[in-house]
Amino acid sequence: MENKNQTKNSVSNFANLLEFFHIVENLKKTKRTGWIQFNIKNPESISDHMYRMSILALLLNDDDLDKNKCVKMAVVHDLAEGIVGDISPAEGITKEEKHRREMEAMQHICKELLGNSIQSQEIFSLWQEYENGETMEAKFVKDLDKFEMILQAFEYEKSDKKDLSEFFENTRGKFNHPLVKSWVEELYLRRETLTS
């Protein structure tokens, strides 16, 4: 009898995992809204953005920050978008409503699909820490989020010959971590060379 229950539970658990895997697949397929709005030919997906942020986090050389936590946070920070999509400010949805939708999505993922396991609690905790933006790690990852976006904008300006100044203007002066600030300064110099 116990084996049948274990089999039933594992099938049920796998069905939930499969739904979770599908949500992660959505991140691979869903293009970032900002690039679509600017008619970029081959816009990056949400997971493209998350992946490069994670790689950037690996370059952290700050003993005051937990690098592994930063990498994990970068991996999960947009996970809710696999359900709610990439909500852009141009859509007129308030920050509060965006947060509510994403919170609901993360609760569905972590509590229902992943069964409130230790792993799902870690995912939810990392996401919540990022959203709150109060810890040094969260602030660093938020810097990476903005930097990765302007880095991508720079690449699209080169490849698609588009003026994406709006992305640079909206993030100017909003970087805090010394490493990311140094990258931003270098990127601005290279962009000036490109546009002059």
Give the pLDDT confidence of 62-92 residue by residue, as tens digits. Answer: 999 999 999 999 999 999 999 999 998 888 8
CA dihedral angle for residue 170, residue 176, residue 179, residue 185, rounded to 10 degrees: 40
pLDDT of residue 95: 92
Low-confidence ranges of the chain (pLDDT < 70): 1-12, 196
Cα–Cα dist 24/136, whole Å: 27
For the stretch 88-117, pLDDT in tens is 888 889 999 999 999 999 999 999 999 989
Predicted confidence at residue 10, as pLDDT, reads 53
State the residue for tokens 């904008």: 153
> Which residue type is seen at 64?
D
> How far is C-alpha 6 from the chain's CA centre?
36
Q: For the chain, give every domain's residue range.
A: 2-195
Query: Please, are residues 86 and 43 in contact by the beta-carbon 8 Å criterion?
Result: no
Residue 136 Cα distances to 62, 125, 142, 144, angstroms? 11, 15, 10, 12
Task: Give the pTM.
Answer: 0.92
Contact 110, 116 (CB under 8 A): yes
The pLDDT assigned to 3 comes to 55
Q: Does the CA dihedral 54-56-59-62 come out positive or negative?
A: negative
CB-based burial, 113-144: b 16+ in 10 Å, e otherwise: bbeeeeebeebbebbebbbeeeeebbbbbbbb
The residues near 72 (Cβ < 8 Å, ≥ 6 apart) are: 122, 126
User: Which architecture, in CATH terms, is 2-195?
Assistant: Orthogonal Bundle (1.10)
